[in-house]
Amino acid sequence: MQTQITQAPIPQAAVPAFSPDRWLYQLFSPLAVASGCPLRRDVADVEANIGRERLLQEARLRGYRVVEEQGQFTLLLNREQMQVMI
């Protein structure tokens, strides 16, 4: 008779359900980028999850723009020239 070795299950708390990289991947997912629509994220949410500097760094690497207004970040997922009208 063979002895079967089993490992104890990993407690749920030990497996991170969240990571900054996963958050960024979902934010800049191919579907979101393909739509080209602006994305809005709450400043407090960004700062709690990945930090302001990380968001700005990732947007800069991709050539996107970020506008902050009234507690919201608006990410403009378009690399084309932009003109502010008023």
pTM value surpassing 0.85 = no
User: Would residue 9 count as lying in a domain?
Assistant: no
**Chain segment 28-60, per-residue pLDDT in tens:** 888 878 887 899 999 999 999 999 999 999 999
Domains held by the chain: number: 1
User: Would residue 30 count as lying in a domain?
Assistant: yes
Mean pLDDT of 15-19: 65
Whether the CB-CB separation of 67 and 73 falls below 8 Å is answered with yes
User: Would residue 82 count as lying in a domain?
Assistant: no
Cα(72)–Cα(80) distance, integer angstroms: 22
User: Would residue 24 count as lying in a domain?
Assistant: yes
User: Would residue 86 count as lying in a domain?
Assistant: no
Number of other CB atoms surrounding residue 55 within 10 Å: 22
User: Would residue 68 count as lying in a domain?
Assistant: yes
Q: What is the per-residue pLDDT for 82?
A: 85
User: Would residue 15 count as lying in a domain?
Assistant: no
Q: What is the per-residue pLDDT for 43?
A: 97
Q: What is the per-residue pLDDT for 15?
A: 45
User: Would residue 29 count as lying in a domain?
Assistant: yes
Q: Give the domain extent around 54.
A: 20-76
Q: What percent of the chain has pLDDT over 70?
A: 80
